[in-house]
Structures are given as C-alpha cells and as structure tokens.
Amino acid sequence: MNALLTVEDLRVSFPGKGWGARRVEVLRGVSLDIAPGETLGLVGESGSGKTTIGRAILGLVPVQSGAITFGGERLDRVKARRRRQLARDLQVIFQDPYTSLNPSRTIGDTLSEPLLGQGIGSREARLRVGRLLDRVHLPADAAGRLPREFSGGQRQRVAIARALAIDPKLIVCDEPVSALDLTTQKTVLDLLLEIQEQTGVAYLFVSHDLAVVRFVSHRVAVIHRGEIVESGQAATVTTQPRHPYTRGLLLAAPVADVAEQRARRQAFELEYGGPNRTAER
C-alpha cells in the first residue's frame, strides 16, 4: 500500500502535575497508516490518547520520538513554512460544533477565510462558498447568517465545509458526531461518506463509539492506555475482536436492555477502569 500518512512508534508525554512529578506518557509507541481515500477509525475510551494522536499529526503537540510521514514528507522534521503549506492538505473537524465556529463571524466569512488565505479573489471565493454550502446540503443564504442561527448538526456541516474548502487529502475527524443526537449523527456520517466518495479524501476518524466507527471506517485501530492493541478490517475488528480490551469495548457498547447494559459496563470497568481513568498508571 502507498500510504498517505504513516505514524511510526510515536511517543508523546506531558509534564506530570506537581513539583518533581514524572512525565505522563500518553502515547507509548503508536504506529498506524492511512491510504489515500481511506477511513481509519481510531477507537478507545476517554483518556486513551485518541485526540493526542490527531493533535500530534496536526503538529499541535510536541512529539518525544517517532516519525510522522505525510505524502512522503516527515511532518515532524519539516520547517515551519513547509509545515504551513502541508497544513492545507491536512484539515480537522472538532467534536463541539458550538465552540469550533467563531460566533461573531458569518458562515460565509468563516468559509471564505481559508480560500482568501490561498490568494483566491473575493468573487471566486464567494462562488466557492456557494458550492461548499451546496456540497454539505445547506441553503445558499446560510452564507449571510451567524452560527447561533444553526442547530448542532447544521454547524457541524459548516465545520465540514470549512475543512473541505481547500481540497485536503486527509481530515482528522475528532469525535465529530459525539455532541449530536442519534438521528443527526447518522445524517452527518452519511454526509462524510458521500464527500469521501466524491472527493477521495481520507479520514482519521476518532471516536469512543464502536458502532459509529464501524459505520464509517474501512479499517479500525483500537487504542488502550496510549498503545494500539488491535487493528484490522473494520468488520473483523468489530465483530471478531482478538484483543480482550476490544472484546470489552464491544460488550460495553449500548444494548437495548438496561440491566444487561449495566452489568456489561460494570464488568468492563472492573477489568479496565472507568472513563477518564484509563490513562492513570
């Protein structure tokens, strides 16, 4: 496979709290790769290090060691100027559609900003904003409105349009539907799939929700305490997991019977610790 992105033996740690505290290792030798046009789902509990992987790829956290190669170039080695150029091809969609858009800027301004930044004229930018809105199924008059006039799902469509504005090769989708209700989740996921089909963009799709990850991903990597414990084809990992942690995640996933759900959840937490505890060592 000719990978678009390769992450090899990535280590990230943060200073521990308090004087003399040891650094906290958050990523402990993570390796993964993504082909052009592919979706790699990254699943794990809260605190397992999913967001940190995305942030390291985007150059937002310092990396202790390891290699991140994108389109054949070492992202962790390129100069800041080249890094900014490459950043065009590498976009992000965040979890919270309520904080990720500037509340005082119209949708049109938000979407034209990356275009103007590329030297595209304002007339052409206006035309492209119209096309972007159409692509994410928002009405053309959305351009003149403010984020507060839109629902969470509509705002996430704007965030997707912004990420698409300059035709990226990879989008890091960090829990992009977690803040949305179930029906809206489905329509946003459908949109991401439709856009991938049309444009060939690749996604690193980060989520704690195995069902969501299964729905959108070609391959899935499972992360636990800063290590990838299992990866493979989405259908295989999510139905015949090899690693006990993945099996636990699967068992802890929501089921209709509340009592059964509680029992499964308790068994899982007993084994692996509850949410926000997985990074504790």
Ligand X SMILES: Nc1ncnc2c1ncn2[C@@H]1O[C@H](COP(=O)(O)OP(=O)(O)OP(=O)(O)O)[C@@H](O)[C@H]1O
* Site of interaction with ligand X (CB under 6 A): 14, 26, 44, 46-52, 208, 279
Q: Which residue number, 57 or 133, has a Cβ lying nearer to ligand X? A: 57
Pick 55 or 135: Cβ nearer ligand X: 55
Closer to ligand X by Cβ: residue 168 or 226: 226
Quote the least distance from Cβ 71 to ligand X, whole Å. 24
State how far the Cα of 25 lies from the Cα of 39, in Å rounded to an integer: 27
Report the distance separating Cα 93 and Cα 216, nearest Å: 15
Q: To the nearest whole angstrom, how small is the minimum distance from the Cβ of residue 51 to ligand X? A: 3
Tell me the C-alpha to C-alpha distance, in Å, between residue 277 and each of 14, 53, 273, 274: 16, 18, 6, 6
Closest to ligand X by CB, 111 or 221: 221
Residue 234 is classified by DSSP as H
C-beta of residue 250 within 8 angstroms of C-beta of residue 258: no
Cα–Cα distances (Å) from 155 to 42, 111, 137, 148, 163, in that order, read: 23, 12, 12, 9, 12
Whole-angstrom distance, CA of residue 213 vs CA of residue 129 = 29
For the bound state, the minimum distance from the C-beta of residue 77 to ligand X, rounded and expressed in Å, comes to 22
Q: At closest approach, how far in Å is the CB of 125 from ligand X? A: 34
Residue placing its CB nearer to ligand X in the complex, 44 or 147: 44
- Beta carbon of residue 207, minimum distance to ligand X (angstroms, whole number): 8
As measured in angstroms, the least distance from the Cβ of 182 to ligand X is: 19
CA distances from 120 to 90, 115, 136 (A): 19, 6, 21
Measured from the CB atom, is 39 or 110 closer to ligand X? 39
Q: Two tokens at 214?
A: 């299964």
